[in-house]
Amino acid sequence: MENTLKTGTTTVGLVAQDAIVFAADKRASFGHLAYDEESKKIYKITDHIALTTAGSVGDILTILRFAKSQAKLFEIERETKMTPHALVNLLSNVLNANRYYPFGIQFIIGGVNKETELFELTPDGGVLKRDKFAISGSGTELVMSVLDQHYKEKMSESEAIELAVRAVSAAKKRDLFSGGKSVSVMVVDRKGVRELKQSEIDSIIEKNESA
């Protein structure tokens, strides 16, 4: 039997009132090893689309390069921005075409078109539209427990950020394959994509721990 090394992560996407909030842990695991404690797992694709990653790093980087180049080409050829739904459909076709030799990845993709859009994308190209939140990685059950209890519709951006950090922190505490030095957070709203500074995240973590 072929031996495989387990990799793990925890990423989440939340639908806020006028934004999509992404959060992820920073540990890259390799079998029983905590291989990297400052791994990047949230990426900007365009000025209005971002995604979280889980799975094989090599496969992730391959699809990321493809997604960024195709989004840029789309905007040049059509003179309009690519929507999150359009990007998801494109990547779904690519992944499904390779379903017999699948990429070992899972993406949460979201952004702002006329309204907020959030999707999960499976390794074989399955697309799941999410109206509240999306979760990926080995910490899924722990994150789902937090979000089921505390998520509410039409959350403000700041409320969604606090909840996303709280959910990922819960997975970091109990999931062996999630961890890292802190939590990464990226927000997509009508102004564009921004990544929170470490000082902002540290303040939120401290607030959650003292609550």
- Residues acting as catalytic residues: 9
The token duo for 104 is 């070992």
Q: What SS3 class is residue 134?
A: strand
Best CA proximity match to 171, nearest among 142, 209, 136? 142
Distances in Å between the alpha carbon of 164 and those of 94, 106, 209?
30, 18, 14
Edge-to-edge order in the sheet of strand 183-189: 133-137, 10-15, 19-25, 183-189, 192-195
Cβ(37)–Cβ(12) below 8 Å: no
| Residue position matching structure tokens 């799941």 | 128
Q: Cβ(82)–Cβ(89) under 8 Å?
A: no
**Which residues lie closer than 8 Å to 151 by C-beta, 6 or more apart?**
14, 132, 133, 163
